A and B are shown apart, each in its own frame.
Chain A
Amino acid sequence: MKTNTTTGDGFNIEINGTVGTPFTDNAKMGSRNCDVFYADKQAIFDINLDIGKHEIIAMIGPSGCGKSTYLRVLNRMNDTIPICRVTGEHTLDDEDIYAKKMDPVLLRARVGMVFQKPNPFPKSIYDNVAYGARLHGLASNRSELDDLVEASLIKAGLFKEVKDDLQKSGTGLSGGQQQRLCIARAIAVDPEVILMDEPTSALDPIATALIEELMDELRQNYTIAIVTHSMQQAARVSQRTAYFHMGKLVEVNATDKVFTNPEHQLTENYITGRFG
């Protein structure tokens, strides 16, 4: 069954649904028949995907392929864009996250997000990390909050560098430190899933390596979905890789397989650098 042909890379290659293994047995989150529209323009076409517990799934693909848009479906960040419409079934632990009774605000506490550009609040380091905890009442007194802030900073690998400067502004840190502060801020509310939207694209290689190490540790406790433009990064950190192309999910497979023996011609073209 031919669903679509695509051009632009010199090839006319068909995308017949998703090849590989988009579904898993131990799904933490999942999407079925996901379409996303910006006003009249369809940005995402019929995506079916599971994200397994304690796995890191990398989402790769050329710019404008819809991978960031799909990521924002998973914590309903697209709700903040008035013209954006999401359809399909999306679950977190078999709960429908687009159901009427689901509060998107509470969902975002369970599905945290780290953004492309580090965006610490213009507050002290301490207040940045304590923000979510205060918001959701996670600490009942000051010493509990202190402990929570310290624990989150330790998990994010930032505590040693900032332990004497907790009252200094978070915006005074270096780019890599800021991004780790944002990760600490996200894990302080104890989410189940962390979505990372190109978290290292604004950072230098050393800061990037630190964050990649950190992701590997975080995998013990959290499920992570990362959008990245760096194929090396996807290969280094993820267990499964999803390749997006023009709003469609082309291939999902174990990362090793995607980068050594991709099933789909488009995936191969992309990872071998023929376009993208």
Chain B
Amino acid sequence: MPFQTLLITLVALLIFSYFIGHKRSIAVSTLHKGRRNLHSRPHYYGYMVAIWAGLPALLILFLWSAFSASMVTSLTISGLPDSMQLKTHDELGLIINEVKNIIEAGQISNETDLVKRNAAIHYQRLHNISSLAKTVVVLVAALLGLLLSWRMIKPETRARNRVEAVVRWAMIGCASIAVLTTVGIVFSVLFESLHFFQSVPASEFLFGTKWSPQTAIRADQVGGSGSFGAIPLFLGTLLISLIALLIAVPLGLMSAIYLSEYASKRFRAFAKPTLEILAGIPTVVYGFFAALTVAPFLRDVGESMGLSVASESALAAGLVMGIMIIPFVSSLSDDVISAVPQAMRDGAYGMGATQSEAILQVVIPAALPGIVGGVLLAASRAIGETMIVVMAAGLSAKLTINPLEAVTTVTVQIVTLLTGDQEFDSPKTLAAFALGLGLFVITLLLNVLALHIIRKYREEYE
């Protein structure tokens, strides 16, 4: 049976099992002094039977489907004549692809190459066996589960608790998917970075001040051997993020204070979502806004004051990025400020504090952990932001902290390293993984730092 048919059959069986379990539990209960003697309500017995019938069978079905193709392929390869076994991995892959094409086109009998023809026949036979075996095993598992759980329906069976346990494992499964994905990404970035550090020494990457990743593609080409000093990139990232935070933190915090403490309910109901829209504008829009409006404006203003401002300046990118991340600061801060109990404010007012004194001296300190959290989120966002800086900050890796000059950032370089056709084992492309790892480590350190700050300065109310 093909996958879809088998799946539909299983689902049908699952629904059927539910009703069987439900019915059976009622029948059993009438034999044993009525339903009140049943440990769980009948639908729990239904769920239990459905889970037993469906869950193992579905698991087998998915695992089998996931691994059968590669199993069949490797069995076909080992079935090839001895002469073919000497070929390289890539060549074998090509042959297998050809074989598969032959089968799909239905041209087995027309194939003239005897080796390929035999391989195709072998492949198809293995495939059919696997498919049949899958169908049988899955259906047997489902029916076995149904039968076993059907026999378990007794008044003292704790169907409710069994269902609860399955629900619990389902939750754990969902949670682990997120965690495992994160771990997987970290390790993949880590290993590719180690790969990179085999061709470029880590000391050069970490402490070098020259970044020009253009390497010769072929050995006979003229061209640089590339230099991979990442300092200018990280400096550029930090410079632009710093400018962005200098804009976003005061503006965001002040608007949060205004919205939560001073604004009328009606104004707040309208202004808060409006402010949050800022985070919803696509970054590419911010990007061309920065490149086409803000950067030229800054250049003109700079000229009129006798300053030379690059047409793609760190200041322009940082300003626009700062506006973009305002909601990250304001929205979270607004929530935590509103969550500070009224009793705190009353206490301060009762001592003769003005509203702003109460806010600055009592409410903000009490809300500090949440505010730091918001700022941190904004900082991570600024460090990882790509589109605005690609369009507005420039590509040249200059070692400078002058915000009026063009700088480049880690994310911009990752983009330029990986756009277009690339070899995936050249230092140039692998450098992107090392840069990604660097960004990850920085964000992680920021988190640790923020946790430390929160723990040290938190003022717990209640």
- Are chains A and B native binding partners rather than an unrelated pairing? yes
Instruction: From the candidates A80, A122, A135, A182, name the one contacting B352 in the complex (CB within 8 A).
Output: A135
Residues of A within 8 A of B341 (CB): 119
Q: Is B189 an interface residue, CB under 8 A from the partner?
A: no
**Contact A121 to B353, CB < 8 A, known contacts A131-B361, A169-B459:** no
Contact B350 A121 (CB under 8 A): no
Q: Is B357 an interface residue, CB under 8 A from the partner?
A: yes
Contact B353 A113 (CB under 8 A): no
**Chain B's nearest CB lies how many Å from the CB of A235?**
27
Residues of A within 8 A of B346 (CB): 77, 80, 113, 115, 119
Q: Is A101 an interface residue, CB under 8 A from the partner?
A: no
Contact A171 B461 (CB under 8 A): yes
Q: Is A189 an interface residue, CB under 8 A from the partner?
A: yes
Contact B350 A186 (CB under 8 A): yes
Contact B362 A132 (CB under 8 A): no
Contact B460 A132 (CB under 8 A): no
Contact A123 B365 (CB under 8 A): yes
Q: Which of A206-233 contact B (CB under 8 A)?
A: none
Residues of B within 8 A of A114 (CB): 350
Contact A108 B352 (CB under 8 A): yes
Q: For residue A195, which residue of chain B has the nearest CB?
A: B350
Q: Is B343 an interface residue, CB under 8 A from the partner?
A: yes
Q: Which of A175-223 contact B (CB under 8 A)?
A: 182, 185-186, 189
Residues of B within 8 A of A109 (CB): 351-352
Residues of A within 8 A of B348 (CB): 121, 131
Q: Is B58 an interface residue, CB under 8 A from the partner?
A: no
Q: Is A262 an interface residue, CB under 8 A from the partner?
A: no
Contact A189 B365 (CB under 8 A): no
Q: Which of A120-163 contact B (CB under 8 A)?
A: 120-123, 131-132, 135-136
Instruction: From the candidates A105, A122, A131, A136, name the one contacting B461 in the complex (CB within 8 A).
Output: A122
Q: For residue A108, which residue of chain B has the nearest CB?
A: B352
The CA of A139 and the CA of B144, in the complex, are separated in Å by: 84
**Contact A119 to B343, CB < 8 A, known contacts A135-B357, A169-B459:** yes
Q: Is B462 an interface residue, CB under 8 A from the partner?
A: yes
The CA of A136 and the CA of B353, in the complex, are separated in Å by: 9
Q: For residue A172, which residue of chain B has the nearest CB?
A: B460
Q: Is A75 an interface residue, CB under 8 A from the partner?
A: yes
**Contact A169 to B460, CB < 8 A, known contacts A115-B343, A121-B344:** yes
**Chain A's nearest CB lies how many Å from the CB of B113?**
81
Contact A135 B343 (CB under 8 A): no
Residues of A in contact with B, size category? 20 to 34
Most buried by B among A77, A117, A121: A121
Mark B448-462 against chain A: 1 for CB-CB distance below 8 A, else 0: 000000000001111
Mark B324-350 against chain A: 1 for CB-CB distance below 8 A, else 0: 000000000000000001011111111
Q: For residue A110, which residue of chain B has the nearest CB?
A: B352
Q: For residue B351, which residue of chain A has the nearest CB?
A: A132
How many residues of B are counted as interface, with CB atoms below 8 angstroms from the partner's CB atoms? 22
Q: Is B366 an interface residue, CB under 8 A from the partner?
A: yes
Residues of A within 8 A of B101 (CB): none
Instruction: From the candidates B345, B350, B352, B459, name the one contacting A123 in the complex (CB within 8 A).
Output: B459
**Chain A's nearest CB lies how many Å from the CB of B184?**
41
Q: For residue A119, which residue of chain B has the nearest CB?
A: B343
Q: Is A106 an interface residue, CB under 8 A from the partner?
A: yes
The CA of A106 and the CA of B352, in the complex, are separated in Å by: 6
**Contact A115 to B365, CB < 8 A, known contacts A171-B460, A189-B352:** no
Q: Is B212 an interface residue, CB under 8 A from the partner?
A: no
The CA of A108 and the CA of B348, in the complex, are separated in Å by: 10
Residues of A within 8 A of B366 (CB): 121-122
Contact B350 A77 (CB under 8 A): yes
Instruction: From the candidates B345, B351, B460, name the one contacting A135 in the complex (CB within 8 A).
Output: B351
Residues of A within 8 A of B188 (CB): none
Q: Is A52 an interface residue, CB under 8 A from the partner?
A: no
Q: For residue A124, which residue of chain B has the nearest CB?
A: B459
Contact A136 B460 (CB under 8 A): no
Residues of B within 8 A of A186 (CB): 350-351
Q: Is A66 an interface residue, CB under 8 A from the partner?
A: no
The CA of A117 and the CA of B462, in the complex, are separated in Å by: 10
**Contact A189 to B349, CB < 8 A, known contacts A117-B343, A123-B459, A169-B460:** no
Q: Is A112 an interface residue, CB under 8 A from the partner?
A: yes
Q: Is B354 an interface residue, CB under 8 A from the partner?
A: yes
Interface residues, chain A, CB within 8 Å of chain B?
Answer: 75, 77, 80, 105-109, 112-115, 117, 119-123, 131-132, 135-136, 169, 171, 182, 185-186, 189
Closest 8 CB pairs of A and B: A122-B459, A109-B352, A113-B350, A119-B343, A132-B351, A108-B352, A119-B347, A122-B461
| CB<8 Å pairs between A and B, sample of 29 | A75-B350, A77-B346, A77-B349, A77-B350, A80-B345, A80-B346, A106-B352, A108-B350, A108-B351, A109-B351, A112-B350, A113-B350, A114-B350, A115-B347, A119-B347, A120-B347, A121-B348, A121-B362, A122-B365, A122-B459, A122-B460, A135-B351, A135-B352, A135-B353, A169-B459, A169-B460, A171-B462, A185-B347, A186-B351
Taking A80-B345, A113-B346 as given, write out 20 further A-B residue pairs in contact, using a Cβ cutoff of 8 Å, ordered by the A residue number. A75-B350, A77-B346, A77-B350, A106-B352, A108-B349, A108-B350, A108-B351, A113-B350, A114-B350, A119-B343, A119-B346, A119-B347, A121-B348, A121-B362, A123-B365, A135-B352, A135-B353, A136-B352, A182-B347, A189-B351
